[in-house]
Amino acid sequence: MSFIDEVILHLKAGDGGDGCVSFRREKFIEFGGPDGGNGGKGGNVIFVADQNLSTLLDLRYRKYIKAKSGKNGSGRNKSGANGKDVALKVPVGTQIIDQENKEVIADLDKHSAEYLIAHGGKGGFGNVNFKSSTNKAPRYFTYGIPGEEKCTLLKLKILSDVGIIGMPNAGKSQFLKRCSNSDSKVDNYPFTTLRPHLGIAKIDYNEIVLADIPGIITNAHLGAGLGHKFLKHIERCRILLHLIDATYDNVISAYEATHNELRYYSEYLAKKEEIVVLNKCDLLTEQEILDKKNSLTYYLNKEVFSLSINDNLQPILSLLYRKLHTEEKVGKYDPFESV
């Protein structure tokens, strides 16, 4: 399945139906009077967040979406039927952005959250509404009001507790696959992962959601590699798990390459809580691991962890869980801070 995280849609709510001019004409009823009914209301266009969706693929080829218009009124005081609403399902974490001024209109970050993006037009009045003591046979009506028309950009930012970041081939997909039910592809070459993957890891009786963010390389924020497409997804992650390939000659440069891209993209990302782990340590000697771990610890002035292919992941997962539940250490995400 293709991972589509941005879609532009032209939306048109339904027009209101026109009112009707009609007069009651029945046998033995001498003064029937006006009985033209009102037009029906046009249908609305509504976005609904659905946790069962993970991509905007369903809307990829629906460029123009229009709700049904209301029916015209008719005689015998019959109002026209209302137009049917159009409910567009989108993944949880979808932002609705005005394509014209680039402002965030709504942020659907909860399951079943709804937002009415385009209101249907009101129906017109039939001539029965204009009857008065001085005008007992009005022959005029009003037309229905056109429905709202909007051009919107939908931008999906996946929701997760932990974002797994790092250079290509740092072992992010392997880590996610080992600790969760993820079906992400694992292989020994860069850019194996072409889209973000989500997985759920269990810690005792608790769960955390992890996201594997595809490899971010130097100048990703300018469009290099694949990372520029997915940097925005990191904004939704509460904390970051930064994996560094321990086989790099200079692990500090590897750390900075990724961290700098976060900072260039958004200062908010650079300030997120971050757990740093030297991965693939089974390929090094104990002395090499110690030297690289010490140099990185000294550079970052905080604890750095090491991980090998056969190590138990529960200690790191437990640490992530504790960090997630230490509110004073976890920054709150403001969905309107950046688009």
Strands, E, within the chain: which ranges? 6-12, 45-50, 64-66, 86-91, 94-98, 104-108, 114-118, 149-156, 162-165, 197-203, 206-212, 239-245, 273-279, 305-306
| CA–CA gap between residue 236 and residue 335 (Å, rounded) | 8
The response to whether 195 counts as a known ligand-binding position is: yes
The response to whether 214 counts as a known ligand-binding position is: yes
* Closest listed residue to residue 167, CA positions, set 261, 234, 232, 238: 261
The response to whether 309 counts as a known ligand-binding position is: yes
The response to whether 193 counts as a known ligand-binding position is: yes
The response to whether 173 counts as a known ligand-binding position is: yes
Torsion of CA 259, 284, 294, 212, to 10 degrees: 30
The response to whether 166 counts as a known ligand-binding position is: yes
| CA–CA gap between residue 318 and residue 26 (Å, rounded) | 81
The response to whether 192 counts as a known ligand-binding position is: yes
The response to whether 171 counts as a known ligand-binding position is: yes
The response to whether 202 counts as a known ligand-binding position is: no
The response to whether 218 counts as a known ligand-binding position is: no
The response to whether 52 counts as a known ligand-binding position is: no
The response to whether 44 counts as a known ligand-binding position is: no
Look at the block and give the residue holding tokens 């992650």.
237
The response to whether 312 counts as a known ligand-binding position is: no
The response to whether 167 counts as a known ligand-binding position is: yes
The response to whether 168 counts as a known ligand-binding position is: yes
276, amino acid identity? V
**Paired tokens of 181:** 């039910």
The response to whether 190 counts as a known ligand-binding position is: no
Name 108's Cβ contacts closer than 8 Å, sequence gap at least 6.
Answer: 47, 48, 49, 90, 92, 93, 94, 95, 96, 114, 115
The response to whether 212 counts as a known ligand-binding position is: yes
The response to whether 280 counts as a known ligand-binding position is: yes
The response to whether 187 counts as a known ligand-binding position is: no
Name 17's Cβ contacts closer than 8 Å, sequence gap at least 6.
Answer: 38, 39, 40, 41, 42, 69, 70, 71, 72, 73, 80, 81, 123, 124, 144
Sign of CA dihedral 329, 334, 335, 338: negative
The response to whether 266 counts as a known ligand-binding position is: no
Binding-site positions for Mg(2+): 173, 193
Binding-site positions for GTP: 166-173, 191-195, 212-215, 279-282, 308-310
Binding-site positions: 166-173, 191-195, 212-215, 279-282, 308-310
